[in-house]
Amino acid sequence: MKRIIFPKSLQKGDKIAVISPAGAVEPSQLEKGIEMIRNKSYEPVLGEHLYSNFSNGYHYAGTEKERINDINWALNDDEISAIWASRGGYGCQHLLENIDLKKFSRNPKWYIGYSDNTVIQSYLLKNGFASIHGQTIKTSSFGVTEESYNLIFDILNGKSLEYGIKSHDLNKTGLCEGQLIGGNLALIYALLGTNYSFKFKNRILFIEDIGENFYALDRMIMSLELAGVFKKIKGLIVGGMTNMGNEKENASYNESFDEFANQLISDRISKYNFPVVYGFPNGHIKDNRALIIGGNVKLKVEDKVTIKFEN
């Protein structure tokens, strides 16, 4: 397995780039998040096209060229110590063939985001760099807990992560250890068969999603099955499954772990014996606890679930 590089911890006063690699955002949607960065004694530096809006069947945060320019600036500028995506949406796949890591490789920095940012995190991991799967700067309609952001700053400050969560009736008990991969299921699915897909062998896979019909969820899980993913992984962590199927929009936190979605996944992987966790608090949910993509994880699934990062 390729040695994974973990970016260095930040110091007070360090600069954090805020960019929009996918969907468009309004300034009012980022005000609280940008102010939070300042309140933590870091300096937010806004990408040139952070608030651009380019309509082409979807409202992107600028043209592909503009978004590529912003991400490459953030990755390679020596004065930037971390990169925080404003939001997900759609559009990160447009950037993959033009990402430049020349200077980044000599000065790695944390990339923070989730949802559509899964493809950027897969790209970074394939090149040997860990990233943070956590809340974006823009808060969604369901809100976000203060702890969700604080956990990201904990990682930036060099602290390790360990979670203990309650058990779920569908959990499959067991112990495993391996590199954590994954993120948004739709993007994991979209990258299958490409040069940018995660490597699954001996990894622990995390998945979450939002707004998918149940047949679409089944299609994605079936694609992973047909690609041999479940024969390769050591364990599976299922996060938020929000607004799935016919569930009403703007679900509250308590509605963010759709039990039919969990049951569907459980039925599909029933023949495998690796440990499985359902209802982990990460995803398009209020309690969005940070994970390290590329981090080494010890997963223990018993009456209580523990997930410990050891890097």
pLDDT tens digits for 136-147? 999 777 789 999
Q: What is the pLDDT of residues 193-217, one digit of tens each?
A: 999 999 999 999 999 999 999 999 9
pLDDT confidence tier of residue 2, bands split at 50, 70 and 90: confident
Our answer to whether residue 160 is catalytic in this structure is: no
Q: How many helices (H) and strands (E) in the chain?
A: 8, 15
Residue 28 in 3-state DSSP? helix
**Region 6-24: what's the mean pLDDT?**
98
Which of the pair, 277 or 142, is modelled with greater confidence?
277
Q: Which candidate in 49, 133, 168, 284 is catalytic? A: 284
Find, among 172, 208, 173, the residue nearest to 188 by Cα: 208
Q: Which candidate in 86, 148, 168, 208 is catalytic? A: 208
Q: Give φ, ψ of 209 to 5 degrees.
A: -165, 170
Report the chain's mean pLDDT, rounded to a whole number.
95
Contact 117, 85 (CB under 8 A): yes
**Domains of the chain from N-terminus onward:** 15-156 (3.40.50.10740), 162-309 (3.50.30.60)
Q: Give φ, ψ of 149 to 5 degrees.
A: -75, -40
| Identity of the amino acid at 95 | L
Is the model's pLDDT at 21 over the cut of 70?
Answer: yes
Residue 75: how many CB atoms within 10 A of its CB?
A: 25
Q: Which two tokens stand for residue 252?
A: 């509250």
The length of the chain is 311
Q: Give me the helix-helix angle, 214-226 and 259-268, nearest 10°.
A: 20
Our answer to whether residue 284 is catalytic in this structure is: yes
pTM of whole model > 0.75?
yes
pLDDT of residue 247: 45
**Region 96-102: what's the mean pLDDT?**
98
pLDDT of residue 246: 65
Our answer to whether residue 162 is catalytic in this structure is: no
Q: Which candidate in 81, 115, 148, 197 is catalytic? A: 115
pLDDT of residue 119: 98
